[in-house]
Chains A and B, each alone.
Chain A
Amino acid sequence: MTDILLLMKHELTLVVIIVLLLILKIREKEEGAENYMPFVNIMLAGNFLLGLVLNRGGELFDGMFVSDNIMVLQKNILNFGVLMISMQSSAWLGRHRHAPEFFVLLLSTLLGMFLLLSSRNLLMFYLALELSTIPLAAMCNYDLAKRRSSEAAMKLILSSALSSGILLFGISLFYGATGTFDFREISSLADSSALQIMAFIMVFTGFAFKLSVVPFHLWTADVYEGSPVAVTSFLSVISKGVMVFALCNVLYTVFNQMSSIWYDLIVITSVLTMAIGNLFAIRQENIKRFLAFSSIAQVSYILIGISGMSAHGMTSSIYFILIYIFSNLGAFGVVAIVSHASGKESINDYRGFAHKNPALAWILTISLFSLAGIPPTAGFFGKLFLLNSGAGQENWYLIIFASMNMIVSLYYYLRVVKSMFMDETEEEINVESTWLARLSLYICVGGILITGFTTGIYEHILSLAQSLK
């Protein structure tokens, strides 16, 4: 029993919070959610802190559920990201009639993600993936009055139905080829027969869909644009993060035998993703769409890190996700504040933003610098380690192509900075923000500025990754 309590601690805490929220909802009076936003945030903070202590490795349910140090770290990173998002969206949700349900959905998604990370069985893996997707579609629809929000939800649920179908098809093919759902057995039976290659590609597209890898990315921009900012940031940070972690785990352990195939697959898709993501980001006018395409491009760099096929590959992608959480949430935090205060979401609306709101403008600037990978922000170190890991395969064309794309991406990140600082405007945006949102922004900026110089972090993750083998 203690085994279950300790090994599934992250998941069980979430379940407890979900139940508490449901009770809260039943007892709710008319006055709205503002009163218990702090309560929710405290619970999430408690959840994050609880995740840091009393961790153990081991397996449960005949090896269907496992937990080890690196998974615990991944879950903690996700917990942290969710806490930040919740803090940033406190103003928006405070006035929303259905805030408790929002958190129920959010935490259910997160629960699905945790199970996804820990599962060692294809069937459970699939179930966890669905659990992490369907509530997300409901969340996309949370701007109840806006048609675009409903459209986003519709597009997400239909697209993911298609992707799930293909994934399930791939899983059944694997079952046909190997006669088992268990990861370890599949791993020992995996070969490069045509059937397995086909099955593998189908499973891979399941990941690729969630990660918005080209050509499975088309839903991304529409969904990002239509959803509320909190959901967009969740999609771009948490949902991406968990899929990167899971992809890493799966490729490095289950499909280790097929590495020659997935290496090519990853290189091809990452080159495509990089080119398309950057080219589309250049032309966006809506800041959420712009961040959507920028996040597509970011994923391609992570793929390069993963293609390194070493402990460095895993380490650098986890490290990058941590930095990416800081940078992207820094940017989305500012966008959320502006969007909530004025409803404006176009890049042109940010003209002259720095004159009236220097603090927010600087936070957005630092975050964008970090996303663009300009030293000395953490994003630079994150990308450096990714490329360094990818360089382990000595595929120099790929590395050079990636570096050139990073230069292209400077253009559109700096465009936003330019319009904030250099352009003039008559219409000034007046913003106000809650202290929770400000606190989360300061944490993000602090993370961006400090993480890169704290060499211990990368080495700590590396030691965890090396202990796996």
Chain B
Amino acid sequence: MNVLYLLLIPLLPFAGFLLTGLFGKAFRGSSAGLLNTTLLLISFLLSVKVVSDYFFIHGLLEDRYVPIIAFQLEWLRFSEDLVINMGVLMDPLTAVMLLVVTFISLMVHMYSIAYMKGEERFATYFSFLSLFTFSMLGLVMSSNIFQTYIFWELVGVSSFLLIGYYFQKPSAVAASKKAFIVTRFADLGFLIGILVLSYYGNSFDFLALSANLTSYDSSFHQAAIGAGFLGISALSWGLILVFMGGAGKSAMFPLHIWLPDAMEGPTPVSALIHAATMVVAGVFLVARMFALFALGGTNVLELVAWTGIISAMMAALIACTQQDIKRVLAYSTMSQIGFMMFAIGVSGYGSESGLGYTAGMFHLFTHAMFKALLFLGAGAVIHFVHSNYMDDMGGLRKMMPVTHITFLLACLAIAGIPPFAGFFSKEEILLASYNANRIIFWLALFTSGLTAFYMFRLYFSIFWKKEKAYQNHQGEGGGLLLTPLVILGILTVVSGFIPFGNFVSSDGVPVSPHLDLKFSILPVGLSLAGIIIASRLYMKESVLPEKLSARLGRIYKLLRGKFYIDEIYLFIAKKIIFRFISRPAAWVDRNIVDGLINTSAAATQLFSISTSGMQSGKLQHYAGYFLSGVLLLIVLFIFLLSN
């Protein structure tokens, strides 16, 4: 394994970040974008090389992909046992994430050169984008949970910076703060979880943690199971808290409220961070610690599964009612991540029962392609129309043929129509949940049909319906804007045929999923039904949708209001936390704490004045103090302290 290549993969974007960040003013025109895109292209090629080396040369040992610590360095040593390392862990999961992150980031970089052209802080934008890529790569390569946490926060920071990129807009500032605070809140859980797990597991390294906490005869495992709180073992608590961090980053219910607002950032950022890479970090985290979740914690995976399916279904319902196309896509992202999450949640460890794990990661992979494509397409549309709202769009298929075709491909993929990428991964997820938990399976099936409906509602509203008069003479956009769309479009068609199970599985042993055609009839049929309903409602201008929403009345309002979860949060924050905790705390601080401090300060002052006579300025006094000091010490030590 070539360590240099492996280390260069994250370091090249980091170099780009430093160069464009520090010398942003020195870059003229698009040169900052070109520089970073070139660095990222190299980074991508290196990861292709490294990943293929891993899969075809180094990784397979006795028919099993083994994790390799490619690089390790001792960072902090607190004691013999407690050591924090920095390292690179190479396993199938890292390999897939490396490809996804570098590739999507490369596409988004290319696209951004055209999309952000003429922006005043062009170089700053690219430096943030590269910072994000660096952090994300660092996150997926970490060999150590503490290192993961560091990059996890760095990813959060770069997301914060990019959401608030248009800092002149108050809504962007509010959204960036919201995203940061909500995810930080979740990260608190993550941090405590890390401490709990590493305390019981006696290490921060992923491999050592799994080894220590999953084997039933190890003393660490016994201790972690033995200790408990509220009837839940310490090990389960640790995993639940870690999952809380993951749920925050991946916008799972009820910590999802930041994601729709995060769409205030530039659209390419939404494609990269809030669709394809950062938001799946939570899924990645659970997958990274899957052995612990599956073998260590009792029933924690069930929590993961239910959180996933609830989020998936709720987001899909909300997505049916939104008007802002980026928000529709945001909710659809949340819904699809819910799919990945519950796929992992219903999975077992090893061989056939591990299908859910493979399926979840497969869906992560395909979803990254088509969701990035959807966002980039939406970006092109917004660029053309100068609006985010569906009402301002319609009939764009003739004016934007490339965008139209690629967008359609992505919609078909997300709806799960064969032979597009989403079909294969979603089918596997449904199969896994069918084998594991029937209730979740039916809910997922319903959500899958709903997905087809709201995606085609979006598609028809943008590209069909009545043509509007657009104030635009610049056309669809240049080659740089369209090339990523075409590349992603092709991948959306073909990436489903990758035998994913041969590479990624819960325990490293390749599995070959066998799709049953009879099983696929129901989901595909439901999706087609969703598409047909959407075409009836939205393909032509009609009053049907309004009638329907009027008929649904309350329910429609509830969905339109996103289940009022934002309002619930506001209520808790303002009415309860501020009134009953913050204000009394402020009172105590002002009256009691400050009072104590003032009293002690006054006492100090008094004592200080009363001893000032010592410093008289007269040498003979000094000598007197000196000699009496010597004598006193002698007397003290010889007569009083000597026994």
Contacts and interface: CB of A to CB of B under 8 A. Distances in A.
Contacts of B614: 218, 276
Nearest to B600: A408
A283 B626 contact: no
Given A201-B633, A209-B626, A215-B625, A221 B642 contact: no
Interface stretch (B185-193, B198-206, B602-610): B602-610
A194 B637 CA distance: 9
Interface string A189-215: 000101001100110010001000001
B619 A194 contact: no
Interface in A338-372: none
Contacts of A222: 617
Contacts of A265: 633, 637
Given A197-B634, A218-B615, A282 B626 contact: no
A411 interface: yes
B622 A219 contact: yes
The secondary-structure label for the interface of chain B is helix
Contact of B629 (A155, A215, A282, A411): A215
B625 A197 contact: no
Contacts of B611: 276, 279-280
B630 interface: yes
Interface stretch (A20-28, A29-37, A43-51, A156-164): A156-164
Interface in B591-643: 601, 604-605, 607-609, 611-612, 614-615, 617, 619, 621-623, 625-630, 633-634, 636-638, 641-642
A456 B122 CA distance: 40
A155 B634 contact: no
Given A155-B619, A276-B611, A264 B625 contact: no
A283 B612 CA distance: 9
A163 B619 contact: no
Contacts of B605: 282
A198 B633 CA distance: 9
B625 A198 contact: no
B642 A201 contact: no
B622 A279 contact: no
Nearest to B631: A201
A269 to B, nearest CB: 8
Given A202-B630, A215-B629, A218-B625, A411 B601 contact: yes
Interface of A is mostly: helix
Contacts of B629: 205, 215-216
Interface residues of B, number: 29
A261 interface: yes
Interface string A256-293: 00000100110010000000100110110000000000
A279 B604 contact: yes
A205 B641 CA distance: 18
Contacts of B601: 411
Give chain A's interface residue range (CB within 8 Å of chain B): 20 to 34
A194 B622 contact: no
B606 to A, nearest CB: 10
A202 B637 CA distance: 12
Contacts of A282: 604-605, 608
B633 A279 contact: no
Interface in A236-267: 261, 264-265
B609 A283 contact: yes
Nearest to B617: A222
A166 interface: yes
Contact of B622 (A159, A205, A261, A408): A159
A221 B633 contact: no
A437 B27 CA distance: 35
Nearest to A155: B619
A402 B629 CA distance: 22
Given A159-B619, A411-B601, A264 B642 contact: no
Contact of A158 (B604, B619, B630, B636): B619
B638 A194 contact: yes
B564 to A, nearest CB: 43
Contacts of B626: 159, 162-163, 205, 209, 215-216, 218
A221 B619 CA distance: 12
15 contacts: A158-B623, A159-B622, A166-B630, A197-B642, A209-B626, A215-B626, A215-B628, A216-B626, A218-B615, A261-B641, A265-B633, A265-B637, A268-B636, A279-B607, A279-B608
Interface of B: 76, 601, 604-605, 607-609, 611-612, 614-615, 617, 619, 621-623, 625-630, 633-634, 636-638, 641-642
Nearest 8 A/B pairs, CB to CB:
A215-B629, A218-B622, A279-B608, A194-B638, A215-B625, A201-B633, A201-B634, A198-B634
Given A192-B642, A198-B634, A216-B625, 9 more contacts: A162-B623, A194-B642, A197-B637, A261-B641, A276-B611, A280-B611, A280-B612, A282-B605, A411-B601
